[in-house]
Amino acid sequence: MENQINYSTEKKENLKKPTVFNGKPTAAFIAASWTALLVGMISYCVGLWNAEMMLNEKGYYFVILLFGLFSVISVQKAVRDKQEGIAVTDIYYGISWFVTIASIVLLIIGLWNADLWLSEKGFYAMSFLLSLFAAIAVQKNTRDIKFLDENGAD
C-alpha cells in the first residue's frame, strides 16, 4: 500500500494556473462594437429617411431608436454597478429594464401595425436590435477602459 500514488494530489499539482485577464477589451472588439453600432443606427436612419411614410411615423420610429439606445445603456450601467458593489436602487434597476422592454414592445407594435413589406419590417427590427446590442458592447468597452486607465492597469 505504500507504493500507491495519490493521483488526486498529483493531478492538482499538474494543473496549469489560469492566465490573469486584465479585462481590457481588444482593439478588434472595440472596433467591431463601434462598427456594429454605427451600421445599425445609420441603416435604421437611412431606412427611415427613404421610407414612404408620414413624418410623424418616421418620428415615432426614430424616438423608439433613441429610447432603446438610452435604455440599454442604463441597464448595462445598473447591472455593472450592482456587480461591482456600487449602490443601485431597486426602482432604478427595475425602471431600466422596464423601459428597455417597452422600447422593444413599442417597436414590435409599430411594425405589426405598419403598412410595410415584411422585408422592411424585418430590416427595421434587425437594425434596431443590432443597435441595442452594439450600444451595450460600446458602453461596456468604454467603462472597462476608463476603469483600467484610472487604476493603472495595462
- Cβ neighbors of 114 (< 8 A, separation 6 or more) are 53, 57, 121
CA 21 from centre of chain: 21
Sorting pLDDT into bands at 50, 70 and 90, what band is 4?
low
Per-residue pLDDT tens over the stretch 111-153? 999 998 999 999 999 999 999 999 999 999 998 888 888 877 6
CA 80 from centre of chain: 12
- In this predicted structure, the answer to whether residue 8 has a pLDDT above a threshold of 90 is no
Q: Taking residues 87-106, what's their average pLDDT?
A: 96
Q: Are residues 125 and 68 in contact, defined by beta-carbon separation less than 8 angstroms?
A: no
